[in-house]
Structure 1
Amino acid sequence: MSSTPENLSNTTTASDGEPKASKRWAISMFGTAVGAGILFLPISAGEGGVWPLLILTIIVGPLVFLAHRGLSRYVLSSDREDADITTTSEDHYGHAIGMVITVLYFLAILPIVLIYGVSITNTVDGFIQQQLHGPEIPRWLLALVLVGAMMLVMLFGQKLMLMITGWIVVPLILALFTFSIYLIPQWDFSAFSQAPSATGLLTAVWLAMPTVVFAFNHSPAISQFSLAMREEHGDDANAVASKTLGLASTILVVFTMLFVWSCVLAMGSDGMAQARASNDTVLTFMANTLDNPIIAYAGPIIAMAAITSSFFGHYLGAAEGAVGIIRAVRRTPREDFNAKTVQKIVAVLLFVITWLVAVANPQILDIIEQITGPVIAMILFILPVVGIYTIPALKPFRRQWVVNAFVVVFGLIAISGLVTQFFL
């Protein structure tokens, strides 16, 4: 259930050379992660002030790398060469538990697709009215056109989607970096003189964790990435995957945290609170509030590119998850399963649901904090560590108990956000 289509592994063969293939996969995983999460992370992480953000900056690098490496190892633990995360789960734990994991995986991805539908509608709507001084387009119509346009790319096939994503990702990295540097003259360091209480500090870190998990999540790419590593490198798959994930994590953390710090220092925690209330991405909010023509036009355009690049990948994951659930419920043999018909039905349903949610315009950060972040944490942080202690093939990694404990603890912190919202 990848943001990267199955045939991508055929384009990153060993003949390309390991460094080139690794860079391609690292950029692909960056494209999966860079989206609404990154554009909302400054808001959620910055509301608590600079000191909680400093703690998050210290822990996020190791956390992102170790969690995604663990999930890759989990996928590679299957003896079957074509096993993805759902097949691996069924192989190790049986049909019932495998079904539960498949449903959780689908639930981890579907809300992200819905978030992108809301985000692209809000961003374009604000851009038309605020920057272009155009008319207010009925929300139902604007959402229909925007969600429909992104879906149309998917209908033309994975090759077109890959080509468009390739056009977007590298310029997007450069744009985020340039935007971060451009904000430096507006940085205000006075917030460092205000030390929070220990309770306030820990609470702010805790509340930001679900969004942090969401912002750096590239787990939808891990299944196909791991399959490609197995196909290309055989017994060395784990070692090469670890290096590639290290590269991907480095790119993500460096560019994302530079962007987050630049936004927070320029806007302050009060500005981030106002951005949350507006239900806009941080770039859209700055475009509408700062008297700067460059930010006014560049901010929404960068946001649109980030949302679009991530929508493609997560839509594929959501669609594959839905098809997998239907197949598992019907228990139809793979050779007798009419996948094309089911895929068309799933595409229509996902389009309608995404459009309706975009029209409803729910609070995006509420979705991230209450649903998406905690469910992703279950798959990304808890499942691989459980696998280490229950799957014989992963037994060698049990000695890394400090690493395993680190991943589980922060996974539980993210999950607790769900418990807090619903029961407290």
Structure 2
Amino acid sequence: MNPQNTIAISPAELSLAWRKTDTTWTLGLFGTAIGAGVLFFPIRAGFGGLVPILIMLVLAYPIAFFCHRALARLCLSGSNPSGNITSTVEEHFGKTGGVVITFLYFFAICPLLWIYGVTITNTFMTFWENQLQLPALNRGLVALGLLLLMAFVIYFGKDLMVKVMSYLVWPFIASLVLISLSLIPYWNSAAIEQVDLGSLSLLGGDGILVTVWLGVSIMVFSFNFSPIVSSFVVSKREECEAELGREQTERKCAQIISRASMLMVAVVMFFAFSCLFTLSPQNMAEAKAQNIPVLSYLANHFSGMAGERSVFAAILEYAASLIALVAIFKSFFGHYLGTLEGLNGLIVKFAYHGDEASVPERRLNMISMVFIMGSTWLVAYVNPNILDLIEAMGAPIIASLLCLLPMYATRKVPALAAYRGRVDNVFVTAIGLLTILNIAYKLF
């Protein structure tokens, strides 16, 4: 080959060249985010009416992309290409920083298990009573039976569970898209007709700004793939950093996060709009009061339809609750592994002074399982409102890890100095603070 005819490819062009592994990670991030939390987003977004959900549509992609990119940049800032987020934070802030991260990871994931414990109990009970037309069961026994079943699967079939979980992601996403499309013939104009621009208020309990503010929390919760960001960044650093350099590796990570965010927002927002146009803001408020996911409410809605129903309506009456149960089981198993890892880490750090070798793994897992399942059963039995629990506990802790920690590190860590003073930093900080301030709103 004549050297004069060789076309030189710059590192910037090489970093943006799409690879097969980029597609794999795009789908992996997308699949991680699409879980049981998506089943509650239409309820929070929908019962505020059409105007708030349109504002949320505008905010959805920036929230998903800028927040996860900020966390990825933090993970990229460590000197060790194979170092995860814990080792990176320890490098920047010492052992105390590592303990803080372990706490945040545990308390970001454990409340999600509590939420799923309530959700799966309510979903099973509403299916039992409304679709199967069977007598009501004792709530405490139902919650205990479901959690014991999951504990049995976890304890004796962890490897099988992980494999099954990975296979369930795509059928669940396909089901959401199929349901969204199949609901189109049932769309109505109730959500549009109820828009009265003259009577809309910005503030107050039902004001647009308050509704959007509360919706930000459920978006942070539903559009969240932060648990996998550290593994994603380590993988791309090991693959690309030696070849492209750190700056271009960051561009590659941002490119993948952007595409995963677009996919996620398209699926979730289409599902939310399809639910809103099929039901009404009053129906969404009813679903919130009944403390059930939107698929369970749709099943009850179609079972109560008068007159002759289509084949889809008859199928959805049963399929919607079953799809919701599968989604919750999938999310529960995935978050259980993260919670177990976090709690084991805390026990080792505080009870065994970090000496992991001296701890019998089987005993450690059993202690953690008893605490996790016991606390989840208690919350499932008490039956707090799921959306309130998300807004008051789940989303604020996720926001601390996803938004505020990277922004604090950007101001303090020299390796992140190049990212200071950017407009998107203000946006990410605002989203984190608004989500955490939900706790104050719920209290007062």
* SS of the residue 1:406 aligns to: helix
- Give me the whole-angstrom Cα distance separating, in 2, the residues matched to 1:26 and 1:141: 41
Aligned to 1:93: 93
| Contact 1:129/1:136 (<8 A) preserved | yes
| Contact 1:36/1:115 (<8 A) preserved | no
CA distances 1:170-199 after superposition (whole Å, capped 9, x unpaired): 111111011111111222335334222333
Cα distance change of structure 1 residues 278 and 171 upon mapping to structure 2, 3 Å threshold:
same
Identify the match of residue 327 of structure 1 among 311, 333, 348: 348
- Give me the whole-angstrom Cα distance separating, in 1, the residues matched to 2:334 and 2:252: 23
Aligned to 2:276: 264
Aligned to 1:395: 417
Aligned to 1:14: none
Aligned to 1:417: 438
Letter matched to residue 32 of structure 2: T
Cα distance change of structure 1 residues 34 and 150 upon mapping to structure 2, 3 Å threshold:
farther
Identify the match of residue 296 of structure 1 among 298, 317, 324: 317
- Give me the whole-angstrom Cα distance separating, in 1, the residues matched to 2:18 and 2:420: 28
- Give me the whole-angstrom Cα distance separating, in 2, the residues matched to 1:340 and 1:357: 26
Residue 350 in structure 1 maps to residue 372 in structure 2: yes
| Contact 1:86/1:98 (<8 A) preserved | yes
Question: Which structure has the larger Rg over C-alpha atoms?
Answer: 2
Residue 308 in structure 1 maps to residue 329 in structure 2: yes
CA distances 1:293-345 after superposition (whole Å, capped 9, x unpaired): 22211211221122122212211111111122223324324445544432232
Identify the match of residue 248 of structure 1 among 255, 260, 264: 260
Deviation at 1:35, TM superposition (A): 2.8
| Contact 1:32/1:309 (<8 A) preserved | no
Identify the match of residue 290 of structure 2 among 278, 296, 300: 278
Aligned to 2:29: 29
Letter matched to residue 141 of structure 1: L
Residue 204 in structure 1 maps to residue 208 in structure 2: no
Aligned to 2:3: none
Cα distance change of structure 1 residues 157 and 22 upon mapping to structure 2, 3 Å threshold:
farther
Size of the aligned set, in residue pairs, is: 406
| Contact 2:71/2:402 (<8 A) preserved | yes
- Give me the whole-angstrom Cα distance separating, in 1, the residues matched to 2:253 and 2:160: 26
- Give me the whole-angstrom Cα distance separating, in 1, the residues matched to 2:397 and 2:116: 17
Q: Report the TM-score when normalising by structure 2.
A: 0.85
- Give me the whole-angstrom Cα distance separating, in 2, the residues matched to 1:299 and 1:376: 28
Deviation at 1:412, TM superposition (A): 1.2
Residue 194 in structure 1 maps to residue 215 in structure 2: no
| Contact 2:165/2:334 (<8 A) preserved | no
Q: Give 5+ residue unaligned stretches, structure 1.
A: 1-16
Compare 168-177 and 126-135 and name the one that shifted more: 126-135
Aligned to 2:231: 224
| Contact 1:33/1:310 (<8 A) preserved | no
Superposition CA RMSD, Å: 2.2
Aligned to 1:215: 222
Cα distance change of structure 1 residues 76 and 312 upon mapping to structure 2, 3 Å threshold:
farther
| Contact 1:31/1:310 (<8 A) preserved | no
> 1:26-65 alignment to 2 at 5 Å?
26-65=26-65
Letter matched to residue 211 of structure 1: I
- Give me the whole-angstrom Cα distance separating, in 1, the residues matched to 2:213 and 2:413: 31
| Contact 1:86/1:101 (<8 A) preserved | yes
Cα distance change of structure 1 residues 80 and 154 upon mapping to structure 2, 3 Å threshold:
farther
* SS of the residue 2:123 aligns to: helix
Q: Give 5+ residue unaligned stretches, structure 2.
A: 1-16, 306-312
- Give me the whole-angstrom Cα distance separating, in 2, the residues matched to 1:171 and 1:144: 28
* SS of the residue 1:298 aligns to: helix
Aligned to 2:147: 147
Aligned to 2:184: 184
* SS of the residue 1:198 aligns to: coil
Q: Report the TM-score when normalising by structure 1.
A: 0.89
Letter matched to residue 88 of structure 1: T
Cα distance change of structure 1 residues 67 and 211 upon mapping to structure 2, 3 Å threshold:
same
Cα distance change of structure 1 residues 210 and 283 upon mapping to structure 2, 3 Å threshold:
same
Aligned to 1:10: none
- Point out the structure with the larger helix share: 1
Residue 379 in structure 1 maps to residue 379 in structure 2: no
Aligned to 1:161: 161
> After the TM superposition, which segments of 4 or more aligned residues of structure 1 sit over 6 Å from their partners?
none
- Give me the whole-angstrom Cα distance separating, in 1, the residues matched to 2:121 and 2:18: 40
Deviation at 1:44, TM superposition (A): 1.0
Deviation at 1:156, TM superposition (A): 4.1
Aligned to 1:71: 71
Cα distance change of structure 1 residues 294 and 162 upon mapping to structure 2, 3 Å threshold:
same
CA distances 1:211-250 after superposition (whole Å, capped 9, x unpaired): 1111111111222222222333334543332222222212
Deviation at 1:82, TM superposition (A): 4.3
- Give me the whole-angstrom Cα distance separating, in 2, the residues matched to 1:121 and 1:335: 38
Deviation at 1:20, TM superposition (A): 3.7
Aligned to 1:369: 391
- Give me the whole-angstrom Cα distance separating, in 1, the residues matched to 2:427 and 2:75: 20
* SS of the residue 2:279 aligns to: helix
Letter matched to residue 286 of structure 1: L
